[in-house]
């Protein structure tokens, strides 16, 4: 099964002192052991960079660009990076118009547009409630993976 990883999953994996690190790491490990294909898109890496290089006092991770680059390289080696293509924009435009998406929620709509374009049914995120309006995908939290409410059966 293909599962897209949200930016907040990458952020929690990179911040080992965060309270959600262990849960996130365990959920990713469980999905990997079950041979699910964990995916990322360029938007997730860009959003990661923004937060990772932002100062800690501004709710960032305070990484240098070199440190953030090492994290990006690690993520690209661990997870399959899908290409960014123009057809995603048309899907995004339809979603934001049809669902009356406003403000920062347009970023989530772009992830769903990429998922729709690439036929990815599942999203792993700490903010699964933000995705409830999108009926074409199912968003799950790391806790869902660990407590068995996310289908983690082995992928073929």
pLDDT, tens only, 101-148: 888 888 899 999 999 999 999 999 999 999 999 999 999 999 999 998
Give the chain as a 3 state SS string. Answer: CEEEECHHHHHHHHCCCCCCHHHHHHHHHHHHHCCCEEEECHHHHHHHHHHHHCCHHHCCCCCCHHHHHHHHHHHHHHCEECCCCCHHHHHHHHHHHHCCCCCCHHHHHHHHHHHHHCCCCEEECCCHHHHCCCCCCEEECHHHHHHCCCCCCCCC
Domains by residue range for the chain, with CATH: 2-147 (3.40.50.1010)
In the structure, what pLDDT confidence band is assigned to residue 156 with cuts at 50, 70 and 90?
very low
In the structure, what pLDDT confidence band is assigned to residue 151 with cuts at 50, 70 and 90?
low
pTM above 0.85, yes or no: yes
């Amino acid at each position: 099964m293909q599962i897209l990883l949200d930016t907040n999953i990458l952020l929690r994996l990179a911040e080992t002192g965060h309270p959600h690190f262990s849960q996130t790491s365990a959920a990713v490990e469980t999905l990997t052991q079950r041979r699910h294909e964990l995916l990322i898109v360029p938007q997730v890496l860009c959003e990661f960079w923004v937060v990772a290089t932002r100062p800690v006092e501004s709710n960032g991770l305070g990484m240098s660009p070199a440190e953030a680059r090492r994290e990006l390289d690690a993520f690209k080696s661990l997870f399959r990076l899908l290409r960014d293509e123009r057809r995603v924009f048309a899907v995004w435009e339809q979603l934001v118009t049809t669902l009356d998406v406003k403000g920062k929620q347009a970023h989530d709509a772009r992830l769903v547009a990429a998922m729709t374009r690439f036929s990815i049914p599942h999203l792993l995120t700490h903010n699964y409630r933000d995705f409830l309006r999108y009926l074409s995908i199912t968003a799950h939290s790391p806790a869902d993976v660990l407590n068995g409410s996310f289908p983690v059966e082995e992928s073929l």
